[in-house]
A = this chain, B = another copy of it.
Amino acid sequence: MQLGRVLGQVVATVRSPGFENVSLLLVQDATAESDPEPETFVAVDLVGAGNGDVVLMTTGSAARVAAGDRTPTDRAVVAIADSVIRHGTVTYRTA
């Protein structure tokens, strides 16, 4: 899984079956934030994450399973990080 940062939302009227009622978050890898142009992804939100939150993203078939097999997504937000501990030191703590 990856730590992601929530950047925003995607609005879409035309959607394939299974995507009708899901919230589509724009996210990027939270551990690559020094990258001048980090890759951006779209994830289905399963935990009610908001802009700026650091979240845990699962990918591949696990995302579909996490979404209860209702939405054929390849990326889902499955947790909100309170803190990240690296070599025994807290390097991120939610505000």
Contact = CB atoms under 8 A, between A and B. Distances in A.
A86 to B, nearest CB: 4
Contacts of A75: 1
A5 B92 CA distance: 20
Interface residues of A, number: 59
Contacts of A76: 16, 72
Contacts of A51: 87-88
Interface of A: 1-3, 7-19, 24, 26, 29, 31-32, 34, 37, 39-43, 46-48, 51, 56, 58-66, 72-76, 78-88, 91
20 contacts: A1-B75, A2-B40, A2-B42, A3-B10, A7-B86, A10-B79, A10-B84, A10-B85, A14-B47, A14-B48, A16-B46, A16-B78, A19-B56, A26-B86, A29-B39, A32-B37, A32-B39, A51-B88, A63-B74, A65-B72
